[in-house]
Amino acid sequence: MPPKTPSNDHAPLTYRDAGVDVDAGNALVKAIGPLAAKTMRAGVLGGIGGFGGLFDLKACGYSDPLLVAATDGVGTKLKLAIETGLHDGIGIDLVAMNVNDLVVQGAEPLFFLDYFATGKLELGVASAVVASIAAGCKEAGCALIGGETAEMPGLYDEGDYDLAGFTVGAVERDRLLPRTDLAAGDVLVGIPSSGVHANGFSLVRRVVAESGLGWDDPAPFAPETSLGAALLTPTRIYVRQLLGTIRTTSAIKALAHITGGGLIDNLPRVLPRHPRRRDRHERPAPAAGIRMAPGGSPPRRPRDAAHLQLRDRHGPDRRRGRCRPRHRRPRLAQGRSRCLRHTGARDGGEPVRLEGKPWSAS
């Protein structure tokens, strides 16, 4: 029996038939152009659309620069944006998680690139996300010089998308942080967060699910807004505030970006290494203004802390010079630790000064 030959009666398949809309991709690139143009700064050569973004470091005026690079995403906070349909702040989160990693090393963010991946490109959603990325870049003072949009049918569920960001900054060699002269007696200053930022949302979503609340319900901690909108408050970008301080004073010795590992994991990353051996179950007392994600309780072990953020909702009890009752210390292992407490004013996002005071666990 002769083999069957392919029939030529049907029309040839196209990329669109396979689920990829090239025209939608081109329309997105056209929409991104004006947004990226608003982020331009000294050093940028050309615009978007080439095979790579160009940047002239000499135009920035550095004399002996080091380049600092970072990459990050926003984790499962994306799921909340997708489920609520609120996409106009998630790009700020993306920029913040990257540029905040640069500035804590003393570096000025220079340029940013993004990666947007989805199963089916929805022009309205993608445009809103990229617009918020551009807004974050403008706030951080870095240029959006390129990116990638990937439409991959079958890889993502309907309506889902993923984000990644990449940034490069520069710092003069002699201004790199952390410095090597950190010592006992240095003051620890905590700058309040804007909320949960973009870490720990697997825990946040689990807590909300078990509470029975919906994203449209009033937020228990902010009844004037919905729970979804409150939790989607964009991550605070600390670049301008910190760079301004670094450039006008030599007092800053080290900075730490408090992300997924909380204070326990992130502060040691900038501290000098000491020969003294530490027990892995050792833990510092939580600061007076530090709270876990909603629904959490003090972790039993350091590694149980999914996310700790500096908050500034409840000031000190000035009559006694100590924290209000809601900040009572949890029980710790036997031994002595340090309890951190607030001092000074805390208005308009200004730094919160934290002072150490020895105390015995009880």
pLDDT of amino acid 242: 96
8: which residues sit within 8 A by CB, 6+ positions away? none
Instruction: Please name the residues in contact with 32: beta carbons below 8 A apart, sequence gap of 6 or more.
Output: 48, 127, 130, 134, 147
Instruction: Note the residue count of the chain.
Output: 362
Reduced to 3 states (helix: H, G, I; strand: E, B; else coil), residue 113 is strand
pLDDT in tens, 301-355: 444 434 444 544 444 443 444 444 444 433 333 333 333 333 333 344 444 444 4
Confidence (pLDDT) at 11? 80
Give the integer Cα–Cα distance in Å for 342 and 254.
20
Stretch 23-48: mean pLDDT, rounded?
92
The band of 10, judged by pLDDT with boundaries at 50, 70 and 90, is confident
Angstrom distance (rounded) from CA 338 to CA 309: 18
Q: How much is the average pLDDT of 103-113? A: 97
Structure tokens at 32: 């991104």
One-letter amino acid identity for 234? P
Query: Beta strands of 18-152 (E only): which ranges?
Result: 44-45, 54-55, 65-72, 108-118, 143-151
Distances (CA, A) of 231 to 100, 130, 206, 212: 20, 20, 13, 16
pLDDT at 341: 34
| pLDDT at residue 158 tops 50 | yes
Residue 1 has pLDDT above 70, yes or no: no
- Residue 297 is predicted with a pLDDT of 47
The strand pair at 54-55 and 336-343 is best described as unpaired
User: Which is more confidently placed, 323 or 74?
Assistant: 74
Give 253-294 pLDDT, tens digit per residue: 999 999 888 888 888 899 887 644 455 555 544 433 334 344
Q: What is the pLDDT of residue 6?
A: 60
- Over range 69-84, report the average pLDDT: 96
pLDDT of residue 330: 38
Q: For residue 209, what are the contacts with CB-CB under 8 A and spacing of at least 6?
A: none
> What value does the mean pLDDT of the chain take?
80
Give per-residue pLDDT as tens, 225-256.
999 999 999 999 999 999 999 999 989 999 99
Average pLDDT over residues 66-73: 97
What's the mean pLDDT in 191-218? 93
HSE-CB for 170 with a 13 A CA cutoff: 17
Average pLDDT over residues 111-123: 97
> DSSP code of 180?
S
Nearest to 130 by CA among 97, 91, 164: 91
Residue 338 to residue 284: CA distance in whole angstroms: 7
Decide: helix, strand or coil at residue 270: helix
Burial per residue of 6-28, b for 16 or more beta-carbon CB atoms within 10 angstroms, e otherwise: eeeeeeeeeeeeeebbeebbeeb
Higher-confidence position of 361 and 40: 40
Cα–Cα nearest to 296, from 200, 361, 199, 192:
200
Confidence of residue 5 (pLDDT cuts 50, 70, 90): low
Residues of the chain with pLDDT > 70, as a percent, come to 73
> Strand order of the sheet with strand 143-151?
65-72, 161-172, 108-118, 143-151
| Rounded Cα gap, residues 288 and 327, in angstroms | 6
